[in-house]
Structure 1
């Protein structure tokens, strides 16, 4: 390991010389782990890497007389990976096992239910032999790296408890210790519930997907997941054709559903206010949009006069049509569109009664 021959009296000077390379190593690790997590489809809250500050190292040497050589300092380069869910801590651990040479692994957690502290996974490792042989990693080949993997809630606990300057149970005043125990228990319960919540959401999405594949999508309740699953089943082309004739600017409505996520969410909120409960009912609303073509044309005309050409977004157009049919929904929705669209809606609402 790096620094085997650097004794205690040489550590500070040697580390100063190595520090620039460690800073570069941290940057490389952050970019590499971001790519690895993306490739494995593990969504994380944050990946942060840093080289240990030389002054911090000197302080650590004073507090730990057992550090005899630079190789004893295992956290010269540190990486913190913050996940959303407890289950993903294990997935990140597997990733690190596969992609790095792990020398030590420990799960730091309370040994008893009422103990101070919170869980996190700590690993000591380095680039594996495969990467150490590549030119872009050669300069960091022997650097030890400390990996810390924890959830968002575990990270919050660590940040808050650290800000209070209590590093362990013994340092915590007895009169506040009980409250800290309760907080630790609540946060651990929160992690478990978030995991259950994700499992239920994924199960719901799988069920929606199966119903959509069977063609049994019309009875799905209107929510963001059902719309995102079945939106290609909705009469999108009919809505776009009306919008284009009304003067709206064409756009690629066959693109990935993420590009329409905001519009979908807004439409879902509107349908709930209007009492539209199923995707079949929503499809029926969309199929009637040609009734509103003249008033949509007025909306587009006024919007253009205000310097904005509205897009033929099928979900926005459906929302406009619902507002034209039930003007009170505009107030209930409490969503502000582009100022030019707002002016166009005003004009369209004033241009006539129900179609």
Structure 2
């Protein structure tokens, strides 16, 4: 255990920003994939929790984690909450195509198979490998494994409340009425999630925007649905403010100008050149279409826009080089 402690503290000292780095990388990845998520929270397990987990034993008395530094995979944990369950497979697909998948467990399916309600979540154990090469935030973490939990906001609320009530009691028995209440609440949450899925299908159905209508962050989701249909997933509402900023920086301010940018031939050229690991979302696609049209000027005009301006110029430069290599650039 002393050796585990020294390795743990040495690693934490060497990576003081690990939680922030992994959280930022997953946020960027989900945004590029057009996942409408609520929030991404990342943390590094503290030493008391790591130590307690390392001491766990199986029913037969053997160690659950014989080599704790290698066997415990949630030193870094990331939780992704989404608004409706149809986003979960999209988020999982983007993550699986961007990291080495060590394990994937659908807790919701396990619960259904067992005939119960309750803990709904999808757990992934992932490792940073060559698939993650373009995630600049993780350049210092090759070979590092981490856990990601993906669940809806309602599933998360249920799990947090149950953990607080049930598991913090330790070995003390829980009143059967509490079990029954949790089961009933879980059934209602599953029903509510289904209704949220229906709402997601019905949103953004307005198709009345004229060509001369000025673009805004509020109107962009509906206009893009009108122009692109359901070919490319949308994103979080706040991300459309970023999209509006980069469009305006390149002088695109009306529906007609946006429609001209979204040419099917240009879209296919960009998709072929970029070789996306996952189906791109609307915002990533348009960012790349702007990069193809304006080249280095797009980098100069928009490099400092967004949540992580320290990383964006290098990311755009790498994408620009891919387009030049594929010979799809407009004249710069």
Q: Is the alpha carbon distance of 1:106 and 1:200 closer, same or farther for their aligned partners in structure 2, counting shifts above 3 Å?
A: same
Counterpart for residue 128 of structure 2: 127
Q: Secondary structure at the match of 2:95?
A: helix
Q: Secondary structure at the match of 2:142?
A: coil
Counterpart for residue 186 of structure 2: 184
Q: Which one has a larger percent helix, Structure 1 or Structure 2?
A: 1
Quick one: distance in 2 between partners of 1:169 and 1:113? Answer: 23
Counterpart for residue 74 of structure 1: 73
Choose between structure 1 and 2 for higher RCO, CA contacts under 8 A separated by at least 6 residues. 2
Count of equivalent residues: 212
Counterpart for residue 100 of structure 2: 101
Quick one: distance in 2 between partners of 1:54 and 1:100? Answer: 26
User: Residue 197 in 1 paired to residue 199 in 2?
Assistant: yes
Counterpart for residue 12 of structure 1: 5
Q: Secondary structure at the match of 1:258?
A: coil
Q: Is the alpha carbon distance of 1:72 and 1:84 closer, same or farther for their aligned partners in structure 2, counting shifts above 3 Å?
A: same
Deviation at 1:196? 1.5
Quick one: distance in 1 between partners of 2:86 and 2:71? Answer: 32
* Residues 124 and 147, structure 1, Cα contact 8 Å, conserved in 2: yes
Quick one: distance in 1 between partners of 2:179 and 2:5? Answer: 38
Counterpart for residue 86 of structure 2: 87
Deviation at 1:231? 6.7
Q: TM-score, normalised by structure 2?
A: 0.56
Deviation at 1:63? 2.8
Quick one: distance in 2 between partners of 1:192 and 1:116? Answer: 15
Deviation at 1:86? 0.5
Q: Secondary structure at the match of 1:82?
A: strand
Deviation at 1:138? 4.4
* Residues 22 and 76, structure 1, Cα contact 8 Å, conserved in 2: no
Identify which range, 84-93 or 125-134, moves more after superposition: 125-134
List per-residue Cα deviations over 1:243-281 (Å, max 9, x = no partner): xxxxxxxxx9834262799xxxxxxxxxxxxxxxxxxxx
Deviation at 1:131? 3.5
Q: 2:214 aligns with which of 249, 254, 260?
A: 254
* Residues 21 and 137, structure 2, Cα contact 8 Å, conserved in 1: no
| Structure 1 portions without partners, runs of 5+ | 1-7, 203-227, 235-251, 262-355
Counterpart for residue 46 of structure 2: 53
Q: RMSD between aligned alpha carbons?
A: 3.2
Deviation at 1:67? 3.7
Q: 2:21 aligns with which of 17, 22, 28?
A: 28
Q: TM-score, normalised by structure 1?
A: 0.53
Counterpart for residue 62 of structure 1: 55
Quick one: distance in 2 between partners of 1:200 and 1:68? Answer: 50
Deviation at 1:229? 4.2
Q: Secondary structure at the match of 2:203?
A: helix
Quick one: distance in 1 between partners of 2:181 and 2:45? Answer: 33
Counterpart for residue 253 of structure 2: none
Q: Secondary structure at the match of 1:99?
A: coil
Deviation at 1:58? 1.2
* Residues 99 and 131, structure 2, Cα contact 8 Å, conserved in 1: no
Counterpart for residue 289 of structure 1: none
